[in-house]
Structure formats: structure tokens, C-alpha cells
Amino acid sequence: MSPEPTNPKPDIQRLFDDGYEIDFQQGYVLVHSVPYVTPSRDLALGVLVSQYDTEGKPKDHTVWFQGETPCSADGRPLEHLVIDSTRQPLFDQFEVTHRFSNKQTDVPDFPADYYVKLVHYIRLLRAHARVIDPNADARTAKVIRSRDENPIFVYPDSASARAGIVAIAQKLELSRIAIVGLGGTGGYILDQVAKTRVREIHLFDGKEFRRHNAFRAPGAASVEQLEGRPKKVQYFNDVYGAMHRGIVPHPYHVETSNVAELKGYDFVFVSVDDGLSRALISKHLLESGTPFVDVGMGLEKGPEMTSLLGICRITLGTPAKHDHLAKRLPTADDRAEALYRSNIQVADMNALNANLAVMKWKQYCGFYEDYDRAHHITFSVAMQSIARAELADPMA
């Protein structure tokens, strides 16, 4: 049987000990080979599925079921058990066909744990199956080889399962993405992407993580970390490697001699602060057919010199639409110090810029709906408004 990550809780261990075929996939616990009666009064084996939280008790008393409509021994559907018969994917290619709800009102605090919950439904199905075959039993002690042998996260993601969106979240399970530039915005991009199912996240930046970076980065760096003067890529790898496997640091800038390293990625986030680098990287990504989002910010003092005016920009370029990039991407030589590079009080703008970029990436992957398919978005802090431009042809 595929083991629960770390040591099983007592209720899960009890399921193992009883000989049930237990499997763990994408935040769910599955019980295989559960006998039940089909509408044609045949015996079949189904799969019971419950959202699984490693830290607590079941969130409710319902379960999913993979199989035909469960029936009584005389072929009548178990209407007191089935509350929904909509076929839907839970994760990967795994579909469920029914949802069960049968709460034991005479049992206080039902279900107290996963053993109580799952065995309750197993017994309901088994009772009808045993009218046909007295030996029908889900306790097969069969060993199941888990499909999740190379987990993305260090600890299980139960939030997607609780929300019932694992199949949607798996649209983000790309092989490799890159984040080029880990200044304020790039760090926040990583903060969000590290919580998705991307297999490998490659980080490119040659600078050290210094005090001014700490005030624009997610989280809080310690004095000891700053005194160590780590490279940005190593600092962020140490932080987010605690959650996400497959973070790969590249402690150097992307330039003419190594830009070819960006070939072969599923998606690239470009978060650089000078036009020449942006021009080099975007040209290479276009030529290699790699979709990317480029981000940028602009801050300047207002007319009275007592406040700041700010704009966030994100621009999406894809193999299907890139005719707008020449006029939308700032690619001039602008290496002179910009105001926002020295002003440490812009972490909110960095975070917003990053979140807009990540949401656009998720739209591109189909995680979020995208009505306008805008490839260029700007946010004005003074107006608190978002402008969308460069809309893609809906038929493209």
C-alpha cells in the first residue's frame, strides 16, 4: 500500500491494519476494491474517496465514489446514499461518478476520524453486496503502488482537495518555468509560484540579497541571513525550498553569453529592471517559441512632491500573439537609477505587480477564466484602476 506521508495517524494506521487498500493522491485518501451491487445486480468493485487533512479530522461526512450507481441486492438505486451523480475529475485522469452523504445522526461528532467515516460507507455498500456473495469484503490487504512517487511539495497540499479544485490546480503542473530577476517583484512571483504544482522553478539573478532587498521581499530576513550576504537565488531557494521541491538557483544574470539557457522552459517570468536586458531576453523567448510575462513598475513624485505616482505593468507574449511587444515593452537603455530602485517603501507595488503577473500566467494555463484575453495590463495607484489592452482574437 502507498504510505501516508510521514507516520500514519492512528485512524489511518487502523485502516492499514484492517487490510483495506489505502492510497493517498493529491490531498485525498482512497479506498480501493470496495464491493457493491450494480443496477444489473452484479457485484463490482468501486473506489471511495475522501478529502484528507493530515492535521485534523474530516471536514464533513461526505465522500466521492468511482463506479456505477450503487444499488440494493434487488437492483434498486441507494437513493438514501447518493446525493449527486455528476461525473467530474478530481485529479489527473481520475474521475468520480457519484457523491455520497449518509450521516450517522445517532453518533455524536460523526465522523470523529477517517476510519469511522470510510468504514461507515464501506459497510453500507458491503451489506447489499453480501446478500449476493457472503464473502464480499474490501479488506484485501493488497499492496498499491502510489502514483505520487515524486511529490512536488515537501508536505501535502490539502487546501486544493478541501476546495475540490485539484483537477483545476493541475493545469499549473508544468515541467519547468523560469523567473529571471529576483528584485522586489521577482521575489513575490516566486512566493506565489512556489505554492503551485510546477515541477521545477529556475531562478536567475547574479546579485546578493542585501538589506534594501529585504524591505521589498516577501517574508522577513534575519540579521544573520543578511550578514551572510547570500546570493538572491540562494536566499530564496533556502526559504521556499522548505515548501517546494525542484527550485533550481542560477547565481548569475542572463546576458548574451548565456541567454540560450532559457530555451526549453514551459513559461518564463521576466522581472528585470533595464531595457537592454529585457530586449535581449524577450527576443530570445520569441525566437524559441516560449510564452512569457514581462513585468515593470514606474514610480515618480507627484506634482506637489509630497506623494508618489505609481504604475504597474504586465505584458504577456505568446507564440500565438506577440505583435504588440515592440510597442509595449520598454527596451531602451534605461540603466540610470530609477526612483523605485532606491525607495524601500514600495513592497505593496512589487507584490501587486507580481500577483497580476501570476494571475495572467494562470489565465494563460486555463486555471482562471479569461474573458478579454488581454496581453497588456496596467494598474494606476492614483486612480486605483486597471486598464486592459492588446486583446487576443477569441477565435485564435
Q: Is it the case that residue 344 has pLDDT exceeding 50?
A: no
Query: 280 by DSSP, 3-state: which?
Result: helix
**pLDDT tens digit sequence for 1-44:** 344 444 678 898 889 889 999 988 888 999 999 999 999 999 99
Residue 387 phi, psi (nearest 5): -110, 135
**The C-alpha cell that represents 222 in the structure block:** 534575519
Find the mean pLDDT for residues 212-235. 93
What's this model's pTM, rounded to 2 decimal places? 0.71
What structural domains does the chain harbor?
10-161 (no CATH), 173-391 (3.40.50.720)
Q: Is it the case that residue 363 has pLDDT exceeding 80?
A: yes
CA nearest 378: which of 291, 312, 285, 289? Answer: 312
Write down the pLDDT at residue 193: 97
Find the mean pLDDT for residues 155-173. 76
Write down the pLDDT at residue 164: 72
Q: Is it the case that residue 96 has pLDDT exceeding 60?
A: yes
Helix axes 10-18, 114-132, angle to 10 degrees: 20
Write down the pLDDT at residue 206: 96
DSSP 8: P
Which amino acid belongs to residue 363?
Q
Q: Which of 155-159, 304-308, 337-341, 348-352 has the lowest mean pLDDT?
A: 337-341
**How many whole angstroms from its chain centre is CA 315?**
22
Residues 6+ apart with CB under 8 A from 41: 71, 73, 74, 75, 132
Q: Is it the case that residue 354 has pLDDT exceeding 60?
A: yes
Higher pLDDT, 311 or 298: 311
DSSP lists the bridge partners of residue 89 as 95
Query: 256 by DSSP, 3-state: which?
Result: coil
Q: Is it the case that residue 394 has pLDDT exceeding 90?
A: no
Find the mean pLDDT for residues 168-180. 90
